[in-house]
Structure 1
Amino acid sequence: EDQKDLTSSRDERRDLTTQFKERTKKLTVDLEKDESFYKDEIENQKATLDSLKEEENNLMEEIKKIQAEIKEEDDQNVELKEQADVFCSMPE
């Protein structure tokens, strides 16, 4: 009877150990899949971020160029207004 109980107990422990190992293996595989997925996701997000930063830099350069053109036009308008004022103030 005691021998039977010991054998049964040993078999139960062996089964539990096997189940634990299987669950551990499955969890490890799942974690590795998740890690791979998130690693790829992070790389994709970094690429998107880099692309957006490049686009932002290009837009900022375009804004600076347009602002320089506007300043040049404003300077020309001031000069033309001064010339027009001088011309209009001249007696005929």
Structure 2
Amino acid sequence: MLHNLVSKWAPADHLGRYRVGVVFLAGSLVVDRVVVPVVVPVADRAVDQAVGRAVGRAVGRAVDQAVGRAVGRAVDQAVDQAVGQAGSPDFQAEAHLAP
């Protein structure tokens, strides 16, 4: 129904884009227990920007988490190796020989 409403006021081009650059967001409002349908025209660019920001934040968060995990694993492995070498008999023998 919403698509029909938008199409009526802003015919789409052959790619399905609305030529006037307006998107209609539909929802409902409850006023004194009465549901009132609401249709709000929003500039196409504003919707694109909001979606772009949301996707950008999600991708950024995912990249941050992945990098954090990779760095954490690398640090853990380096510490484990250093502790393992420090506990080895060869390392302890060299430590006793050092002046």
Sort the TM-score into its range (normalised by shorter chain).
Answer: 0.5 to 0.7
Number of residue pairs the alignment of both structures matches: 56
1:41 to 66, 81, 95: 81
Asked if residue 50 in structure 1 is aligned to residue 92 in structure 2, the reply is yes
Look up the match of 2:71.
31
Matches within 5 A, 1:41-80: 41-48=81-88, 49-53=91-95, 56=97
Residues in 2 aligned to 1:13 and 1:51: alpha-carbon distance in whole angstroms: 58
Q: How well do the aligned residues superpose, as a CA RMSD in angstroms? A: 2.0
Residues in 2 aligned to 1:28 and 1:43: alpha-carbon distance in whole angstroms: 22
Shift >6 Å, 4+ stretches: none
What TM-score do you get using the length of structure 1 for normalisation?
0.52
Look up the match of 1:17.
57
Question: Residue 50 of structure 1 aligns to which amino acid in structure 2?
Answer: Q
State the Cα distance separating 1:51 from its structure 2 match: 4.0
Point out the structure with max Rg over C-alpha. 1
Runs (5+) with no aligned partner, structure 2: 1-20, 23-42
1:4 to 21, 41, 44: 44
The structure richer in helix per residue is 1
Residues in 1 aligned to 2:87 and 2:75: alpha-carbon distance in whole angstroms: 18
Runs (5+) with no aligned partner, structure 1: 58-92
What TM-score do you get using the length of structure 2 for normalisation?
0.49
